[in-house]
Structure formats: structure tokens, C-alpha cells
């Protein structure tokens, strides 16, 4: 630590930022590295090497308490040279007590370091922030090199996020029946049909359906509609659910044609909780919990196995499951027996991401096998297809998905086809044309604010590519107990961040795949996943993805048109301080007075003219519905 004499004779002390407690850095991927780049190399920017500083990954935030005793901040910043040709572009910002003190502008890999030299006199709280340069955060390895704070007294201190209390907003469902979930359902002619009516309310409950197409029947005790039929066209069915407290009716549009997944799939996937350690027992337990927790009554349907179920191939080339999955047919029967559906995972390359058997050269055989086993969903993950097409052009990017799509179309079973190739080649522009029901738009999500918010908010502008049967997918949910291994822990997202996560994914019409250990659902997590008015935004039959209407710094307003002529509006505060936000009718294309309903609280807020104002917490959201009076 160096000491310098200042004109006022106060004893100045200089602190390297790497000496602070870097566990408080919130970053998009990996963990912060003291005196090293993100990948653990000597920090290097534009050919210049640095001994001190820290390596991080956009989007990254470090909040520092200066106690009003700091004088100056200096650093050399840039993208680390370890990124090389892979790209990477970031923007650095220094924010003092909510005001931007310095900005680097967009910096790309190979650019020389930029020097930040900022006066801090009187500043109490400093935020070191790295943005994604406006183009997503792939390969955004960022360095705060030689970052130093000069203090006139005391020491700088890294700050954790401000404490937040866990507040359950979702009201408890009423005792009377309420029919939830999709109001429109697509099926291909002749495919086995399974649609389970989702209804909350006290049991026992009985179900009925008028005008079911010939070939389908409804079990009055379970509410499951099964069978098959060939007649293409739209069939409007009236569903009824009845219990001791009343009767609910809801119409269901069954569309028999070429398109399935007319609303975004709702379900669970094993990856974000169990990662490589997933077993048959975990999957059964997830299905059990989906029913026991009541999630099934709110429209949740799929139980999806991710990577690491495969056990090689037999002598005829048929894919086998590993010892962890002793009998796939028995497993799918078990899940279907609960009125749920089940998904599986593979890769177009020779191996999956976790180095299990992929589908390369076995696509038809695998699709047949998935159908025989009884799967309803396939996640198809690019990974080792890199070996086949190391620098794929547009056609090469599409090819493996076209091949598997043809294979899936050749079996008489409706299998939702989920592309997982992290957004390569702007997949949203062509995913639907080649049979994708959804496609990942970015790399893997993790349970940090940086990762979740970047994955979600980057869908601005992609709304024109989503619609019934084909959805943008910013990746699975990171609420509840996650861990990517047999050892799970509570999500690191704070409560307001979790409200943002679910609200945004609903506005975006994203597939909602719960990524947590379902046997450990706590009251708060369950409340996030069972708010029928919020889920209805995701499942709205119009299938219109929300648009970003306003962006003012860290404040964003998103709007989604709903089938009944109303709009769902999200007021999002991505900033560090609670802020008042205003949704103006003029920005939303509205006039006159509008009824405002708070969707999380399921509460009418009154009638408003011209605008609606609300105070939005740090990293939080207010989700409302505006309807004409
Ligand atoms: C990744 C994918 C993850 C998970 C993992 C399995 O490529 O994005 O969601 O499926 O592979 O190995």
C-alpha cells in the first residue's frame, strides 16, 4: 500500500480494488479473479500486461462503500486478450451515488486499454459496472486492471446487495374451481392426444367437456382428455370444473393441424438443479412434486430430462439409457400416468455437451426410439456438432436441425422440438421455418442478476420472430433450489430479481422450464410459479411477445398485447436504487382512461388517465394489465 502526501496534509492511502472482498461481484459467468483474467491468465489488454486488478465477465457489478472519504479512482480497462478472435465487446462505467462519473464507450477485444481517472471527493458509494457492449455477453471477459482507490481516511469496502425481505404477493387460490393453463392447444392429425385440464380449487372436483371431437374422451375424475382424431380444423370445447364451492367454465380451442406448442411449454427440466447427476428417481420425484405441490393445477405440464441419461448404443445402433435410467418406457408411463408429459435431450453431434452419446447419423433411429418410449419434447443441443462443422455457414447451422425435424415428423407422435444452439446465426430469423418450436437465444443462464437480466432483456427487438408454435427461449428458470449437481442450494437471485425473472419470461412468451429441485419448493418459490394472472400473460392465446417501449438508462417499460384487447405492461428497474417510473399512455399507443390491475397482487388499482406511476424497487418490477374501461 503506497502513502502519498496531499496538499491538505491528510494522509492518503491507496487501495488496489483486488484487495476488496470480490465475492460480492455480481457477474454474468464464472467468478471474479484476483490479479488474473477471468480464465486465470495474467491480465492483458491490447498487448499490455498488468500484474494487478481483477478479471470479470459482463454484465458485472461491484458496489463499494467509500464512506465519503475517497479522493480518486484510477484503472486501465478493456477486454482481456485471452478472448482473441472469439469477439467480446463491453462497456465500462463508474457510477458514484447514482450518477455516471465515467464511461469507456464500447470496447472490443484487441483494443488498447482505456484509462479511467476520476475524482471521488464526497462520493459515498461507487459502482464498478461492465455492460455487454449492447450485443449480448458471449466472450465478454473484462479487466479492471491496476484499479486503485485513493482514500483520505478509512478503507473502501465491497458491499453485498442491500437486504430484501421475502414478500409473497400472490394471493392464495380460492376454494371454488378455476380453470387455468392454455386456452388453445395444437395437435397433429392422428397423434396420441393428452390434455389435462388444470384447475385450482378444493378437491374433490369433477370435470366435463362439451363438443369434444370424435375420438377424444374426457375422464370426469381426472380431467384428462385422451384419444386421437384425424379431422383437421378448429374444435371449440367448453370445459367445466365443479366442486362443493361452485362451477367454472372455460373454452378450449383444439386446433388439429401441423402446428403444436401453440402456447409456450410450461414444465421442469433437470439441468439447473441436478446437472450430470440426474437419475430416474429425480425425474419421478419431480413429477410427484409437480402434482403434490399443485403446480399441475396451474398449467405446468412437462417433466424434461436434460443431458446425461444416455448409455451408448446396442449392436443395431439403437440408443440405450444408462443404469441411472433402467427403464425409459416405465418412466414415461409413470409421468403420463399423472397427466403430465415428458421430455428428453440429445445433440446432433457424435456426443452431447457432457460427452454422452449424441444422435449423429442416428437421427431417424433416435426419433423412433423417443416416440416408442413415449417422449413428448426434445431439446437438441449443438455442442459437438462443432466437430462436423467447425465454422458453420448458414446452411450448415440449419442442417442438423432440419435432419432431426424430418425424423421427428416421420413418427406419429407430437414431440415439441426445442433448438439449443445459444442463438448462433440469429436462429430466431430461421428457427421457425425449419420446424423449431423454440430456440435458445443465448448462452446458459445462471442464478445471478447479471446472467438472468442479460439473457432476458436482450430479447428486445426479437418480438417479430415469436408466435404460436415458435418461441424465443432465453433459457430455463433459476428460482428455487438450483445447483447443477446432486448438491443444490437456494438461488442467488434476490426476491425482487425473481419477480423480474418470472414477469419478464411471461411477457416474452418464453418457455417456462422450472430449473429447481421440485422436492424442495418453498412457499415463496411456489407463489412465484402459481400466480394464474401472471402465467396467463405467458399463455395468452394471441402469442404476442412483449416489445420494449421505453428505455431510459436502467429503466425499461415492456408491453404485450393480449387476446382480449388489453395490454400487460412491465415496469422494470434494472438500476441500483428504488425509482419512480411512469407508464405514459402516449408511449403505449393508448388514450383516455384505462383500468389498471396489479397482476402479482391480483388487485385492481383503479382507473387512470394518461399515465400510471409506481415506485419500482432495485432490480424489481411492477407488472400491470391495462384494459379499456
Ligand atoms: C448446454 C446447454 C444446457 C445443458 C447442457 C447439458 O449446452 O445449453 O442447457 O443442456 O448443455 O450438457
pLDDT tens digits for range 436-464: 999 999 999 999 998 999 999 999 999 99
pLDDT tens column, 164-179: 999 999 999 899 999 9
CA 379 – ligand 1 centroid, Å: 9
Could you tell me if the CB of 309 is within 6 A of ligand 1?
A: no
Please tell me the residue having the least CA distance from ligand 1 atom 9: 444
Please tell me the residue having the least CA distance from ligand 1 atom 11: 353
| 281 pLDDT higher than 90 | yes
The structure's pTM equals: 0.92
Considering the domain architecture, whether residues 498 and 582 belong to the same structural domain is answered as no
Cell digits of residue 150: 485513493
Considering the domain architecture, whether residues 300 and 228 belong to the same structural domain is answered as no
Interval 384-404 mean pLDDT: 97
Q: Are 353 and 391 in contact (CB under 8 A)?
A: no
- Does residue 540 have an active-site annotation? no
Interval 103-112 mean pLDDT: 97
Considering the domain architecture, whether residues 97 and 72 belong to the same structural domain is answered as yes
Residue 20's CATH number: 2.60.120.1060
Bond into 436 cis (ω within 30): no
| 236 pLDDT higher than 90 | yes
What SS3 class is residue 408?
Answer: helix
Q: What is the DSSP letter of 546?
A: P
The pLDDT of residue 54 is 98
What SS3 class is residue 440?
Answer: strand
Percent of the chain residues topping a pLDDT of 70:
98
- Gap between the terminal Cα atoms of the chain: 66
Tell which atom from ligand 1 comes closest to the C-alpha of 382.
Answer: 7
What SS3 class is residue 395?
Answer: helix
| 8 pLDDT higher than 80 | no
CA 304 – ligand 1 centroid, Å: 13
* Radius of gyration for the chain, computed over Cα atoms and rounded to the nearest angstrom: 26
Q: Which of 381, 447, 532, 561 is catalytic?
A: 381
The parent domain of residue 146 ranges over 13-159
| 2 pLDDT higher than 70 | no
| 39 pLDDT higher than 70 | yes
d(CA 226, CA 201): 23
- Does residue 381 have an active-site annotation? yes
Interval 126-136 mean pLDDT: 89
pLDDT tens column, 190-205: 999 999 999 999 999 9
* Number of CB atoms found within 10 A of residue 138's CB: 19
| 207 pLDDT higher than 70 | yes
SS (H, E, C) 241-309: EEECCEEEEEEEEEEECCCCCCCCCEEEECHHHHHHHCCHHHHHHHHHHHHHCCHHHHCCCEEECCCCC
Could you tell me if the CB of 382 is within 6 A of ligand 1?
A: no
d(CA 533, CA 575): 26
Please tell me the residue having the least CA distance from ligand 1 atom 8: 444
Could you tell me if the CB of 473 is within 6 A of ligand 1?
A: no
Considering the domain architecture, whether residues 434 and 343 belong to the same structural domain is answered as yes
The verdict on residue 492 lying in a domain is yes
Interval 559-571 mean pLDDT: 98
CA 422 – ligand 1 centroid, Å: 9
Tell which atom from ligand 1 comes closest to the C-alpha of 306.
Answer: 10
pLDDT tens column, 293-310: 999 999 999 999 999 999
Tell which atom from ligand 1 comes closest to the C-alpha of 354.
Answer: 12
The pLDDT of residue 9 is 59
Considering the domain architecture, whether residues 150 and 98 belong to the same structural domain is answered as yes
- How far is the CA of 583 from the CAs of 7, 8, 34, 371, 555, in angstroms? 50, 49, 42, 48, 11
Q: Which of 219, 277, 288, 444 is catalytic?
A: 444
Considering the domain architecture, whether residues 185 and 314 belong to the same structural domain is answered as no
Q: Are 455 and 422 in contact (CB under 8 A)?
A: no
The pLDDT of residue 87 is 82
Q: Which of 487, 518, 538 is the endpoint of a domain? A: 538
**Which range is least confidently modeled, 16-20, 421-425, 473-477, 573-577?**
573-577
| 1 pLDDT higher than 50 | no
Q: How confident is the model at residue 135 (pLDDT cuts 50, 70, 90)?
A: confident
CA 381 – ligand 1 centroid, Å: 7
The pLDDT of residue 175 is 98
| 489 pLDDT higher than 80 | yes
pLDDT tens column, 550-559: 999 889 999 9
Interval 503-522 mean pLDDT: 98
Considering the domain architecture, whether residues 530 and 412 belong to the same structural domain is answered as yes
Phi, psi for residue 577 in degrees, rounded to 5: -125, 145
Considering the domain architecture, whether residues 307 and 339 belong to the same structural domain is answered as yes
Interval 123-139 mean pLDDT: 90
d(CA 528, CA 340): 20
Residue 487's CATH number: 3.20.20.70
The pLDDT of residue 85 is 87
Considering the domain architecture, whether residues 151 and 211 belong to the same structural domain is answered as no
**Which range is least confidently modeled, 21-30, 476-485, 514-523?**
21-30
CA 309 – ligand 1 centroid, Å: 13
Tell which atom from ligand 1 comes closest to the C-alpha of 345.
Answer: 10
The pLDDT of residue 7 is 52
The verdict on residue 334 lying in a domain is yes
Considering the domain architecture, whether residues 23 and 45 belong to the same structural domain is answered as yes
In sequence order, the β-bridge partners of residue 589 are: none
Q: Are 509 and 468 in contact (CB under 8 A)?
A: no
Tell which atom from ligand 1 comes closest to the C-alpha of 275.
Answer: 6
Could you tell me if the CB of 344 is within 6 A of ligand 1?
A: no
More confident residue, 273 or 7: 273
Could you tell me if the CB of 381 is within 6 A of ligand 1?
A: yes
CA 353 – ligand 1 centroid, Å: 6
CA 337 – ligand 1 centroid, Å: 28
Tell which atom from ligand 1 comes closest to the C-alpha of 440.
Answer: 8
Amino acid at each position: 500500500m503506497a502513502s502519498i502526501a496531499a496538499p491538505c496534509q491528510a494522509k492518503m492511502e491507496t487501495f488496489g480494488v483486488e484487495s476488496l472482498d470480490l465475492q460480492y461481484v455480481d457477474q454474468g459467468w464464472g467468478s471474479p479473479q484476483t490479479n488474473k483474467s477471468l480464465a486465470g491468465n495474467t491480465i492483458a489488454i491490447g498487448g499490455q500486461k498488468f500484474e494487478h486488478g481483477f478479471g470479470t465477465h459482463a454484465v458485472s457489478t461491484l458496489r463499494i462503500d467509500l464512506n465519503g472519504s475517497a479522493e480518486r479512482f484510477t484503472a486501465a480497462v478493456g477486454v482481456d486478450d485471452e478472448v482473441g478472435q472469439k469477439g467480446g465487446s463491453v462497456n465500462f462505467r463508474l457510477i458514484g451515488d447514482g450518477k455516471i462519473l465515467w464511461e469507456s464507450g464500447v470496447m472490443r477485444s484487441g483494443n488498447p486499454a482505456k484509462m479511467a481517472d476520476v475524482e471521488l471527493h464526497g462520493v459515498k458509494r461507487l459502482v464498478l459496472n461492465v455492460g455487454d457492449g449492447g450485443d449480448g455477453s458471449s466472450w465478454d471477459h473484462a479487466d479492471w486492471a491496476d484499479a486503485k482507490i485513493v482514500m483520505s481516511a478509512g478503507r473502501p469496502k465491497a458491499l453485498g446487495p442491500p437486504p430484501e425481505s421475502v414478500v409473497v404477493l400472490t394471493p392464495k387460490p380460492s376454494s371454488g374451481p378455476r380453470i387455468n393453463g392454455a386456452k388453445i392447444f395444437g395437435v397433429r392429425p392422428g397423434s396420441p392426444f393428452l390434455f389435462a385440464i388444470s384447475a385450482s380449487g378444493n378437491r374433490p372436483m369433477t370435470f366435463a367437456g362439451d363438443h369434444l371431437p370424435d375420438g377424444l374422451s374426457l375422464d370426469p375424475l381426472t380431467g384428462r382428455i385422451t384419444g386421437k382424431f384425424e379431422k383437421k380444423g378448429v374444435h371449440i370445447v367448453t370445459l367445466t370444473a365443479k366442486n362443493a364451492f361452485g362451477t367454472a367454465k372455460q373454452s378450449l380451442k383444439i386446433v388439429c393441424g401441423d402446428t403444436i406448442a401453440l402456447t409456450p411449454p410450461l414444465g421442469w427440466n433437470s439441468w439447473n438443479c441436478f446437472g450430470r447427476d440426474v437419475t430416474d428417481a429425480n425425474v419421478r420425484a419431480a413429477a410427484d412434486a409437480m402434482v403434490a405441490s399443485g403446480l399441475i393445477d396451474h398449467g405446468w405440464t412437462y417433466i424434461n430430462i436434460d443431458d446425461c441419461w444416455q448409455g451408448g448404443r446396442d449392436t443395431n445402433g439403437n440408443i440405450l439409457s444408462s443404469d441411472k435410467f433402467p427403464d425409459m418406457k416405465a418412466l414415461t408411463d409413470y409421468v403420463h400416468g399423472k397427466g403430465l408429459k415428458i421430455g428428453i435431450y440429445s445433440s446432433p453431434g457424435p456426443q452431447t455437451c457432457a460427452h454422452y452419446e449424441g444422435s449423429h447419423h442416428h437421427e431417424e433411429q433416435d426419433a423412433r426410439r423417443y416416440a416408442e418410449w413415449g417422449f413428448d419434447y426434445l431439446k437438441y443441443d449443438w455442442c459437438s456438432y462443432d466437430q462436423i462443422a467447425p465454422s458453420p455457414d448458414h446452411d450448415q447451422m440449419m442442417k442438423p436441425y432440419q435432419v432431426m425435424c424430418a425424423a421427428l415428423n416421420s413418427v406419429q407422435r407430437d414431440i415439441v422440438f426445442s433448438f439449443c444452439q445459444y442463438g448462433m446465426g440469429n436462429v430466431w430469423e430461421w428457427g421457425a421455418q425449419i420446424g423449431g418450436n423454440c430456440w435458445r437465444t443465448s448462452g446458459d443462464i445462471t442464478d445471478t442478476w447479471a446472467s438472468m437480466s442479460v439473457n432476458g432483456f436482450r430479447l428486445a427487438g426479437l418480438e417479430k420472430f415469436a408466435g404460436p408454435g415458435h418461441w424465443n427461449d432465453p433459457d430455463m428458470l433459476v428460482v428455487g433450489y438450483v445447483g447443477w449437481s446432486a448438491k443444490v442450494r437456494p438461488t442467488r437471485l434476490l426476491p425482487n430479481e425473481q419477480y423480474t425473472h418470472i414477469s419478464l419470461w411471461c411477457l416474452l412468451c418464453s418457455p417456462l422450464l422450472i430449473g429447481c429441485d421440485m422436492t424442495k419448493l418453498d412457499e415463496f418459490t411456489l407463489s412465484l410459479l402459481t400466480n394464474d394472472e401472471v402465467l396467463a400473460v405467458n399463455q395468452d392465446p394471441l402469442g404476442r411477445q412483449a416489445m420494449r417501449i421505453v428505455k431510459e438508462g436502467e429503466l425499461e417499460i415492456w408491453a404485450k398485447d393480449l387476446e382480449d384487447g388489453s395490454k400487460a405492461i412491465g415496469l422494470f428497474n434494472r438500476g441500483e436504487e428504488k425509482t419512480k417510473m411512469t407508464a405514459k399512455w402516449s408511449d403505449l399507443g393508448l388514450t383516455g382512461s384505462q383500468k389498471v390491475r396489479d397482476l402479482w397482487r391480483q388487485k385492481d388499482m383503479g382507473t387512470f388517465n394518461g399515465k400510471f406511476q409506481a415506485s419500482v424497487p432495485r432490480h424489481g418490477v411492477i407488472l400491470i394489465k391495462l384494459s379499456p374501461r
